[in-house]
Amino acid sequence: MQTILEKITQLKKEKDAVILAHYYVPDDVQAISDFVGDSYFLSKKATEAPQQTILFCGVSFMGESAKILNPDKTILMADDKADCPMAHMVSIEKIKEIRNTYDDLAVVCYINSTAEIKSYSDVCVTSSNAVEIVTALPQKSIFFIPDKNLAHYIATQVPDKNFIYHDGYCPIHDRISPEAVVACKEKHPNAKILVHPECPPNVVALADYTGSTSGIIDFATKDRGTEFIICTEEGIGYELRQKNPQKTFLFPEKNQTCQDMKLITLEDIANTLETGNNQVHLDEEMMKKARHSLAKMHEIAK
Ligand code: SF4
């Protein structure tokens, strides 16, 4: 009787598929994936992968980005119900309203947004490259969507721009409170505080390091410290522990879990590869426009 891992390995060969997974999916899914990373890394890998089929273990905007960048490939979502609530927290009407209000404006969308929102934006960013990209833009005013917390963090790094904020947020990062972080630090005074910029500004203010999930992993791996307070989704713990089995990682809130990311199972992966279900389909015209904002991100980030 074939194990689920053997089945997935066989199906990957038969279907010429590569499995890409985000750091927030369950540990066993990360363990069997070909590449695990943050949104920026995964969007690059989707473009570089020689396989004809990409199976995405993540939320829907990730699969959409892979499809936009690789329209001729088959993009499958391990679970097509896994979605990011923040990706839907801004409307096209709002973008039009702001465009009509400000001159010399760039609409900068976080990669955690729908394909439609990307198609109405000038450039896309991830938490790894947002500072670099906003700095490089010639426009003075920046409408940063949908995440207000990331926008506030970028604004502190690029103070000469005029930021227009929106009110979107990630429910998981936004609920990490400074009280919980301080309480954890009191119990572990030597621990360094590592914060994802999707957290509220009063949590970022406590950070020894602020950066993307990849940045947090790199920092914790290279740093001489042995204890770290981690302010992002708890799935990152798998990679942190893999790379640093001798170090301790503490999560200050009781619930730092993205339920959408946790929907994905090994059974989903096997079923999706076998059936070809959950394929990402997008309107051609929308893809063309959204590709411009993603391509601009890759061009500037190069
Ligand atoms: S952790 Fe937050 S930003 Fe990431 S997918 Fe979940 S809800 Fe969206």
CATH number at residue 182: 3.40.50.10800
Residue 302 scores a pLDDT above 90: no
Ligand 1 centre to CA of 259 (Å) is 9
| Residue 255 covered by a domain | no
Q: Tell me, what's the pLDDT at 15?
A: 96
Q: Rounded CA gap, 51 and 49, in Å?
A: 6
CA dihedral 113, 117, 118, 124 (to 10 degrees): -60
| Residue 61 covered by a domain | yes
236 shares its domain with 295: no
* Residue numbers of the domain that contains 214: 176-250
| Residue 269 covered by a domain | yes
pLDDT in tens, 274-295: 999 999 999 999 999 999 999 9
Check: CB of residue 234 under 8 Å from CB of residue 256: yes
Ligand 1 pocket: which of 62, 261, 262 to mutate (most atoms <8 Å of CB)? 261
Specify the ligand 1 atom closest to the Cα of 84.
Answer: 8
| Residue 223 covered by a domain | yes
Nearest CA to ligand 1 atom 3: 170
pTM of the model: 0.95
Nearest CA to ligand 1 atom 5: 84
| Residue 158 covered by a domain | yes
Confidence class of residue 209 from pLDDT cuts 50, 70 and 90? very high
Q: Tell me, what's the pLDDT at 62?
A: 94
Check: CB of residue 270 under 8 Å from CB of residue 250: no
Q: Tell me, what's the pLDDT at 301?
A: 85
pLDDT in tens, 257-266: 999 999 999 9
Q: Rounded CA gap, 260 and 245, in Å?
A: 27
9 shares its domain with 78: yes
Ligand 1 centre to CA of 257 (Å) is 9
22 shares its domain with 66: yes
| Residue 256 covered by a domain | no
Specify the ligand 1 atom closest to the Cα of 233.
Answer: 1
19 shares its domain with 33: yes
pLDDT in tens, 42-64: 888 988 999 999 999 999 999 99
| Closest C-alpha among 66, 74, 91, 130 to residue 290 | 66
pLDDT in tens, 168-177: 999 999 999 9
91 shares its domain with 106: yes
Q: Tell me, what's the pLDDT at 129?
A: 92
Q: Rounded CA gap, 298 and 45, in Å?
A: 12
